[in-house]
């Protein structure tokens, strides 16, 4: 037979079982945490009508999208989860209760240039809260609590949720009579972390045609720092000059005010006037999240408030707030930085049951009994030498081998061997389940281990 060399496309993540287990654990934490805040799971098709996906059109998106014909249909793979959400909410708005809270953890597709750490297929883990006409600021205030619980769930402590408000920036630019250039300015200021203040000033003056004074005013403004209280106080100094600005400050205060009630410690949260988020469609609060020891990674969870989710599909005004975690990239980076907990159990089973007698009936019944007690059991029936069986158990990292020979059978017991310590006990099936469960509970740990 002529054979084809097997390969996986570049830019597509495909993990070996041990790593896949860790990624699954992260997804489970995301599902559980999002559910804890009353978000409903949503699943939309990966393929949509290309006209629908490209309603906004233009730019990078259009170049990167996977678009193809099937019969007469012009189809495309989704490149994010926001556009399909907009379509979903517009399509079903009469059947949904608002505010509508949904989470979606799904793959999206972007045919980017292949590059280390860049993926063409990747998971996004999004939440959004959509209001009908209005949406209370309390929803925006809650978002940092959700981000906090997710990242703590992963095992992280050294991270910071950075928050700003686009109204403050827009209002500020209006004070400087630079509203018409605010998009360009924000995109430039967004690069502050990467290129530094001096280069930002150069771009503002040379490319955006600002006066030196205007550029200096902007740099002075975004240099405001300190505790959250100090930053908010400094903002008060600008108040009364622009309504949009004042509204933004009020919103930022509302988001910051109840942090401790939301259980978010001061050290994991910062008001940061340099955050703008490149996307034009945010209109209020904006969020970024950075790992303090790994600033080069950039933001691992971003989002914000928008006033009109689905304007391309419906005249109904649907404001919302949402965040997105680029899960595939985050996982790749955590792994690359050596932050994935190597001790985290990642075996496909808790116990390997080995029949040691001609008739496997008793071993089968034992395996089923352990499973009914919640133990994940692989029954190993291959005709191999004992040593090879043990080595298989070791290779998979299965923590327990359960042996059932004539002696154990005669006593109505089984031998449970702890593969790590080598310790072996001969006990009843009920005791075996208990023994395995209690040892496993001790061994569970966080997915991410900070150094």
Interface with its own copies: number of residues (CB under 8 A): 107
Q: Token pair for residue 248?
A: 């933004």
Quick check: 43 binds its own copies (CB under 8 A)? yes
**Max alpha carbon distance in the chain (Å)?**
92
Q: Comparing C-alpha atoms, which of 139, 168, 128 is closest to residue 276?
A: 168
Q: How far apart are CA 237 and CA 249, in angstroms?
A: 11
Q: Pick from 87, 166, 329, 417 the residue near its own copies by CB under 8 A.
A: 87
Site for its own copies in 319-358 (CB under 8 A): 348-349, 352, 355
Q: Pick from 160, 179, 258, 283 the residue near its own copies by CB under 8 A.
A: 258
Q: Which of residues 151 and 245 has its CB atom nearest to its own copies in the complex? A: 151
Site for its own copies in 177-236 (CB under 8 A): none
Quick check: 313 binds its own copies (CB under 8 A)? yes
Q: Pick from 12, 61, 118, 187 the residue near its own copies by CB under 8 A.
A: 12
Q: Which of residues 102 and 166 has its CB atom nearest to its own copies in the complex? A: 102
Backbone angles phi, psi at 40, to 5 degrees: -90, 140
Candidates 84-92, 177-185, 200-208, 288-296: pick the segment binding its own copies (CB under 8 A).
84-92
Say if strands 351-355 and 285-291 run parallel, antiparallel, or are unpaired: unpaired
Candidates 163-171, 188-196, 259-267, 270-278: pick the segment binding its own copies (CB under 8 A).
259-267
Q: Pick from 61, 314, 317, 418 the residue near its own copies by CB under 8 A.
A: 314
Backbone angles phi, psi at 112, to 5 degrees: -75, 165
Quick check: 244 binds its own copies (CB under 8 A)? no
Q: Which of residues 43 and 206 has its CB atom nearest to its own copies in the complex? A: 43
Q: Pick from 61, 62, 80, 96 the residue near its own copies by CB under 8 A.
A: 96
Candidates 242-250, 253-261, 402-410, 438-446: pick the segment binding its own copies (CB under 8 A).
253-261
Backbone angles phi, psi at 76, to 5 degrees: -155, 150
Q: How far apart are CA 94 and CA 290, in angstroms?
A: 38
Candidates 66-74, 186-194, 415-423, 424-432: pick the segment binding its own copies (CB under 8 A).
66-74
Site for its own copies in 361-390 (CB under 8 A): 361-362, 364-365, 368, 371, 374-383
Name residue 108's beta-bridge partners: 122
Q: Pick from 3, 180, 220, 385 the residue near its own copies by CB under 8 A.
A: 3
Q: Which of residues 68 and 386 has its CB atom nearest to its own copies in the complex? A: 68
Q: Which of residues 211 and 357 has its CB atom nearest to its own copies in the complex? A: 357
Q: Pick from 61, 62, 80, 107 the residue near its own copies by CB under 8 A.
A: 107
Q: At what angle do helices 182-189 and 212-222 cross, to 10 degrees?
A: 50
Q: Which of residues 41 and 226 has its CB atom nearest to its own copies in the complex? A: 41
**In sequence order, which residues have a C-beta less than 8 Å from that of residue 283 and are 6 or more positions away?**
166, 167, 304, 305, 306, 307
Tell me if 251 sits within 8 A of 284, measured CB to CB: yes
Q: Comparing C-alpha atoms, which of 144, 196, 162, 137 is closest to residue 275?
A: 162
Q: Pick from 158, 174, 201, 312 the residue near its own copies by CB under 8 A.
A: 312
Q: At which residue do the structure tokens 């409903």 appear?
A: 40
Site for its own copies in 119-158 (CB under 8 A): 120-121, 131, 134-139, 141-142, 145, 149
115 CB neighbour count, 10 Å cutoff: 9
Quick check: 161 binds its own copies (CB under 8 A)? no
418 CB neighbour count, 10 Å cutoff: 15
Tell me if 79 sits within 8 A of 335, measured CB to CB: no
Query: Least distance in Å: CB of 40 to its own copies?
Result: 4
Query: Least distance in Å: CB of 25 to its own copies?
Result: 10
Candidates 97-105, 245-253, 336-344, 408-416: pick the segment binding its own copies (CB under 8 A).
97-105
Q: Which of residues 200 and 318 has its CB atom nearest to its own copies in the complex? A: 318
Candidates 29-37, 152-160, 206-214, 418-426: pick the segment binding its own copies (CB under 8 A).
29-37
Q: Which of residues 226 and 361 has its CB atom nearest to its own copies in the complex? A: 361
Quick check: 36 binds its own copies (CB under 8 A)? yes
Please report, for residues 89, 110, 134, 235, 322, the alpha-carbon distance to residue 310 in angstroms, rounded to integers and kept in the order given. Answer: 8, 22, 14, 33, 14
Q: At which residue do the structure tokens 């600005």 appear?
A: 245
DSSP3 helix / strand / coil % (the chain, rounded to 5): 40, 20, 40
Mapped onto helix, strand or coil, the DSSP state of residue 387 is helix
Tell me if 311 sits within 8 A of 136, measured CB to CB: no
Tell me if 79 sits within 8 A of 52, measured CB to CB: no
């Amino acid at each position: 037979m002529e054979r084809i060399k097997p390969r996986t496309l570049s830019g597509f993540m495909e993990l070996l079982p041990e790593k896949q287990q860790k990624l699954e654990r992260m997804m489970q934490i995301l599902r559980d945490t999002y559910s804890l805040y009353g978000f409903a799971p949503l699943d939309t098709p990966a393929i949509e009508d290309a006209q629908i996906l490209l309603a906004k059109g233009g730019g990078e998106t259009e170049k990167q999208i996977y678009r193809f014909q099937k019969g007469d249909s012009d189809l495309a793979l989704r490149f994010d989860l926001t556009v399909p959400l907009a379509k979903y909410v517009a399509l079903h708005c009469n059947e949904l209760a608002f505010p509508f809270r949904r989470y979606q953890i799904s793959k999206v597709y972007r045919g980017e240039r292949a590059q280390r750490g860049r993926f063409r297929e990747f998971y996004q883990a999004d939440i959004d809260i959509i209001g009908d006409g209005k949406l209370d600021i309390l929803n925006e205030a809650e978002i940092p609590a959700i981000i906090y619980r997710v990242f703590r769930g992963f095992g992280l402590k050294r991270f910071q949720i950075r928050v700003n408000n686009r109204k403050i920036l827009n209002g500020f630019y209006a004070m400087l009579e630079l509203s018409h250039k605010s998009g360009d300015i924000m995109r430039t200021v967004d690069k502050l972390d990467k290129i530094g203040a001096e280069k930002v000033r150069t771009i503002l003056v040379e490319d955006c045609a600002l006066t030196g004074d205007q550029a200096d005013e902007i740099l002075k403004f975004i240099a405001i720092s300190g505790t959250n209280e100090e930053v908010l106080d400094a903002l008060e100094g600008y108040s009364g000059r622009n309504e949009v600005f004042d509204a933004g400050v009020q919103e930022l205060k509302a988001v910051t005010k109840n942090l401790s009630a939301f259980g978010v410690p001061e050290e994991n949260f910062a008001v940061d006037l340099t955050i703008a988020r490149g996307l034009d469609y945010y209109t209020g609060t904006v969020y970024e999240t950075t790992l303090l020891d790994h600033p080069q990674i950039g933001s691992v969870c971003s989002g914000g408030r928008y006033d009109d989710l689905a304007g391309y599909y419906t005249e109904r005004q649907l404001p919302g707030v949402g965040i997105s975690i680029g899960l595939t990239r985050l996982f790749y980076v955590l792994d690359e930085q050596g932050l994935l907990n190597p001790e985290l159990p990642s075996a496909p089973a808790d116990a390997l049951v080995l029949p040691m007698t001609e008739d496997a009936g008793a071993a089968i019944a034992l395996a089923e009994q352990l499973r009914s007690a919640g133990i994940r059991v692989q029954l190993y029936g291959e005709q191999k030498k004992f040593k090879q069986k043990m080595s298989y158990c070791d290779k998979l990292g299965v923590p327990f081998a359960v042996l059932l020979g004539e002696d154990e059978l005669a006593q109505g017991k089984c031998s449970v061997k702890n593969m790590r310590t080598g310790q072996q006990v001969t006990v009843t099936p009920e005791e075996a389940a208990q023994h395995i469960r209690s040892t496993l509970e001790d061994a569970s740990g966080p997915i991410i281990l900070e150094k």
